[in-house]
Structure 1
Amino acid sequence: MTTQMASLDRKTMTAPAMWVFAVAASALPVVLLGSIPATYATTGVLALPLVFLLVGAVVGFLSVGYTEMSRQAPHPAVYYAAVGRGLGKSAGVAAGIVALVAYNGIQTSLYGLLGAQLSDTFGGKWWVGALVVAVLIAMFGASGITRSTAVLAVVLAVSVLVVFLFVIAAVQHPADGYNPDGFSTSGLTGGVGGAAAYVLASLMGFEAGASFSEEARTPRGPGRSVKVALAVLVVVYSVTAWAVGVAVGPGQVTAALPDPMTAFDDQYGPLMPPFVTMVLIFAIVTSMLALHSIAARYGFAMAREGVLPKWVRSTGRDARVGAPVGGSLLQSGIAVAVIVVFAVLDLDPLASLFAWFSTVGALGLLSLLIVTSLSAMRYLRAGGPAPATAWKRVFAPGLGVLGGAVVLVLMVVNVDALLGSAPGSSAPLIIPAVVVAFALGGLLWAAYLRSSRPETWQQIGQGAGNRHAVPAARLADIEL
């Protein structure tokens, strides 16, 4: 039914376009209206803006090894290739499987959030709206990347405007002055570990641009998009968290769940909250589209090398599009199956689907960042294709591993807060166990490939080879 290509279209993604995907994946309005108020209310940490800066610094150290590996070993499935180059092909396959689970987990979790929001806004069953959007996501995922980029850029621009308007409203009408506790270590009281876990989950997706390395116009574009996306997210979220504290007041921000919609209503009138709600819905959808694109590229790239079934590597009939059609269908199939199961079992879309799947995804991605930094230290020290400074080889990845391990422990210990479950539940054991189980499954699959399919084993993590031999979309119509 489809023809299959060895690679995606080259030179179709600029650094700004990759940055749009990375920032859109984080869904700014979701963090403003959901994550930040929930973190204040559940942890009691006044210095949440400072926590964003501190955790952002740790993630920044982790991103150094990640971006350097994506530059020296460009591959759509970054974790799969980067870990495979430094720690061995078995570890690479395991990392690829965990990455697929993590990205699919976060993307699929958003169907629960979106479905609940659509149900609250328009009525009806949550899963009806979720299934409709799943079809739209599948259609965009199977088309060229240019169309998706345009949609993401428009929604992201409006989302940034909404966040900016909220900050202006908070500054103009502070509840109790401009309290400095938000950036003071004296405000690091209460559940700091839980706050760090929330912050880490909010930042995931910043690394998305590196998965477009095969389609990038310049080799350094993906790495730059990752760095800029992380810096923008950390600064914007830190300022936004401070603005929420200013709007509500330090005495009330941790006492109950603060509602940023009140500031919109007071400052801009009753028409503003419905507008912000619509922006929130579109931001969730574009976040899903961005994460769908990443998961599709992981599936495509791993299938191209024989790690996943051959049909997943399909790029469709139209060679001018060069989209990961097979990977897109795989991701959409997973999402639809999950929605149907949760609907049939009548499970809560927020407490079950969104909370559990997003937590598994965030924990998996943090673990992969740590492992990738370890891989970078080994691979770059041994001498990669291009020289790397000591900062990129040793110091930044080393600091990232140490800081990341601390955040990982805090995240596991505070899983109850992320899930909203009662203290003493089995969640802190189940969530890490899921990630470990898929990693072990990846190792077993790698062992099978090594013993039974040596030709596949040799291809693992190698990528498309000569990127300049891949036809670009803009050349597809030239008649020779």
Structure 2
Amino acid sequence: MDTSTTPVDTGSAGGSAIDRLKPNQVGLLGVVFMAIATAAPITAMTGNVPFMIASGSGIATPAAFLIAMVVLAVFSVGFTTMSKHITATGAFYGFISYGMGRTVGLAAGLLAAFAYMVFEPSLVGIFSSFATNTFTDQVGVHIPWWVFAVAILAINAVGTWFGVAVAEKLLVALLATEVTVLAVMAVSVALHGGGPDGFSLTPVNPINVFHGAAPGLGLFFAFWSWVGFESTAMYGEESRDPKRIIPRATMIAVLGVGVFYVFVSWMAISGNGHDQAAALAGSDHPMSVFFDPTTRYVGHWAVNTMQWLMITGSLACGMAFHNCAARYLYALGREGALPSLRRTIGRTHPRHGSPHIAGLVQTVVAAVVILAMGLAGKDPYNGIYTLLAILGTMAILVVQSACSFAVLNYFRTHHPETRHWFRTFAAPLAGGLAMLGVVALLIVNMGSAAGTEAHSAILKATPWLVAAVALTGILGAQYLKRRHPERYALLGRTVLEETRER
């Protein structure tokens, strides 16, 4: 396969050169770590698993993660096959523009940007909640949550300004510590024979998922725990040898996170015993599902460490989503659909090669969202985190579905010589249908997922907001097609390379 990385500008607005991101900044491990950071393993485990046990898949929660891993791996087959042909910071925006046309591509690009733009303030909410509670419990000092919100917004802005290499180093350090403490707990339980019930296979039997209180809800939370893994593709222009790195990084992220989720949740349940795990998950202290076996098999010091790492883990996740949002804004801006965007969010820093203006715009947007929800009296965890996470998840799942169908059409129309019955047909078709199924699970279970915010106006407006963003993209593309065809021609076409696989 040709792996050259000659920049391709399929057109230029106003005759000016496109500002490029700084190339060759990250390798395979860097891309993997940044993708896994968006999934926030410690947040997914301590936040989602107790709820899944109590209200979703029951003690078969590890099996729900197993099912999600298989489905996402199938989806990733088509996604990674396309990434061998197209390298673009816009990722889904570029893929879908090539596969389903510029109109659908712009709608998908706006939806993806919207998703990542609301994911950051959602993580600001959970970071602030974790930080306030931990400082109160362990230091005896109460610090208002908004102080931590300002801090994480500033950290995210600075990280994006100085480029992906700086963010990579910090994310690697933060992610390594949170993964380590969860792994230590899980391995300790395993070394002690698997806890009171031993190494029972009941929690990892996929059939048992459907015996839980609400199997659909459990499966949705399992898929939710992977949100962000697809961000590997948006680092293609900044990575070394993207045609090889991005496909590998995506599969490593999907399978690595999946095996980790299954093992850690299985050992947490086994370490407590099945009945006790279910009781703790439904109690007033659901995080005891992890804290109790950690205390018993590792020591109380590890619980204290875990609480601090929940803060750093959500910080890493927030930073990763900030990077994603900034790169999508940059990708949309650099093509000059509106000339003013190319001169602002479409620019890169002259020294660091980072999307610095797009990063600042994202910081302002996140700050405004946090301020508005704070003034509305929303709790940082139950209100800000939960509502915005559901909103962003619905948007990104719709885009993932569209991407699968884009893969089908792309190889039929662009590269029929490289079509393969599984990689470019069966896998993306199955992945697309499965993603639509997950969207349906979300719509059906939104109220349960929102908890105390089940009757919130924001939650009720979620499907309509997603539809409105997509419609804006469709109408905007059609306007450009009729009034400014030269700008329409550029939509989704600014890529590092569009190549044949040889």
Q: TM-score, normalised by structure 2?
A: 0.87
User: Is contact 2:94–2:495 with CA below 8 Å preserved after alignment?
Assistant: no
Q: Is the 8 A contact 2:32 2:252 kept in 1?
A: yes
Contact 1:63 1:369 in 2 (8 A): no
1:377 to 2:408 alignment = yes
| Structure 1 match to 2:45 | 32
1:244 aligns with 2:277: no
Whole-angstrom distance in 2 between the partners of 1:384 and 1:60: 23
Q: Whole-Å Cα distance in 1 between the matches of residues 145 and 455 of structure 2?
A: 30
In structure 2, do the counterparts of structure 1 residues 423 and 100 end up closer, same or farther at CA, with 3 Å as the change threshold? Answer: closer
Distance 1:164 1:29 in 2: 10
Which of 450, 456, 467 is 1:419 aligned to?
A: 450
2:391 maps to which of 353, 360, 363: 360
Residues 111-162 of structure 1 deviation map (CA, whole Å, 9 limit, x = unaligned): 1101111111222211111111101110011112111111111112112211
Contact persistence 2:100–2:406 (CA under 8 A)? yes
Displaced runs of 4 or more, over 6 A: 422-428
The answer for the alignment partner of 2:215 in structure 1 is 192
Instruction: Give 1:124's aligned residue.
Output: 143
In the TM superposition, 1:215-294 aligns within 5 A as: 215-218=238-241, 219-257=243-281, 258=286, 259=288, 260-294=290-324
The Cα shift of 1:271 comes to: 2.4
Please state how far the C-alpha of 1:57 moved relative to its aligned partner: 1.3
2:332 paired with 1:302: yes
Aligned partner of 2:13 in structure 1 is none
User: What letter matches 1:196 in structure 2?
Assistant: L
Cα deviation for residue 408 of structure 1 reads: 2.1
Q: What percentage of aligned pairs have identical amino acids? A: 25
1:177 aligned to 198, 204, 207, which one?
198
1:23 Cα offset (Å): 0.8
CA drift at 1:269: 2.9
Mapping 1:6-405, distance limit 5 Å: 6-122=19-135, 123-171=142-190, 172=192, 174-184=195-205, 185-189=207-211, 190-218=213-241, 219-257=243-281, 258=286, 259=288, 260-307=290-337, 309-310=341-342, 311-318=344-351, 321-384=352-415, 387-405=418-436
Inter-CA distance 467–196: structure 2 relative to 1 (3 Å threshold): closer
Residue 436 in structure 1 maps to residue 457 in structure 2: no
Change (3 A) 1:213 1:386: farther
Paired AA for residue 335 in structure 2? E
1:60 CA displacement: 1.6
* More divergent stretch after superposition (106-115 vs 426-435): 426-435
- C-alpha contact (below 8 Å) 2:88/2:496 kept by paired residues: no
Using the TM superposition, give the Cα deviation of residue 458 of structure 1 relative to its aligned residue in structure 2, in angstroms.
1.3
Contact 2:97–2:104 (CA<8 Å) still a contact in 1? yes
Q: CA deviation at 1:27?
A: 1.1
Check whether the contact 1:114–1:285 (CA below 8 A) recurs between aligned residues. Answer: yes
State which drifts further: 309-318 or 168-177. 168-177
Instruction: For 1:48 and 1:431, locate their aligned partners in 2 and report how far apart those are by CA, in whole Å.
Output: 27
Residue 242 to residue 290, structure 1, CA distance change in 2 (3 Å): same
| Distance (whole Å) between structure 2 residues aligned to residue 253 and residue 23 of structure 1 | 26
Does structure 1 conserve the Cα–Cα contact (< 8 Å) formed by 2:104 and 2:474? yes
Shift of 1:289: 1.0
C-alpha separation in 1, matches of 2:257 and 2:413: 33
Q: Which amino acid aligns with 1:193?
A: G
Residues 43, 254 of structure 1: 8 Å contact kept: no
**TM-score between the two structures when normalised by the length of structure 1:** 0.91
Cα deviation, residue 216, structure 1 = 1.9
Cα separation, 2, equivalents of 1:438 and 1:382: 28
1:234 aligned counterpart, secondary structure:
helix
CA RMSD for the aligned pairs?
2.2
CA 1:238/1:416 → structure 2, altered by over 3 Å: closer, same or farther? same
Maintained 8 Å contact 1:106/1:361: yes
Q: Deviations over 1:166-187 (max 9, x none)?
A: 1023332613333321122235
Aligned residue pairs: how many?
464
Q: Distance in 1 between matches of 2:423 and 2:125?
A: 39
2: CA distance between counterparts of 1:226 and 1:442?
Answer: 27
**How much does 1:32 deviate?**
2.1
Which amino acid in structure 1 is aligned with residue 170 of structure 2? V
Deviation at 1:419, TM superposition (A): 0.8
1:166–1:307 distance in 2 versus 1, CA, 3 Å: farther
* Runs of 5+ consecutive residues of structure 2 not aligned to the other structure: 1-15, 136-141
> Which amino acid is the alignment partner of residue 273 of structure 2?
G
**1:465: Cα distance to partner?**
5.2
Structure 2 partner of 1:472: none
Query: Deviations for 1:420-455, whole angstroms, at most 9, x for unmatched residues?
Result: 158788887532222112111111121222223322
Unaligned ranges ≥5, structure 1 = 469-480
Q: Is the 8 A contact 2:181 2:302 kept in 1?
A: no
Task: Return the alpha-carbon distance in structure 2 between the equivalents of residues 422 and 147 of structure 1.
Answer: 37
